[in-house]
Structure 1
């Protein structure tokens, strides 16, 4: 079983063997990318369309296993 967010309880579960792994995400990077997209939309005067496909932004994450928990 693998979880997401890399919270303390998940990391402890990985150490105990109850989870195989958890993926730690970077909330600061998620917030920064979101703010950059908002700022660009405001500056361009383009809020987009609900029918349009959203652009993909990749965020760094870390796979936490027993080896690095």
Structure 2
């Protein structure tokens, strides 16, 4: 594995991203509004997919509360 994608395997980075970025974005959006996510220098799509899954988890949790 190359070090550039090390972020994808760093649990602390994902926790910070979830708490400091994704959760506030989801909480502040209007119901049903879109959220756009960009993954710069994404070569395989895994990065974008992982970010989308993180946003989806927060969005689904916000609906069920």
What TM-score does the superposition give when structure 2 sets the normalisation length? 0.31
Q: Which has the higher strand share?
A: 1
Structure label with greater radius of gyration: 1
Q: Which has the higher helix share?
A: 2
- Name the structure, 1 or 2, with higher relative contact order (CA <8 Å, separation 6+): 1
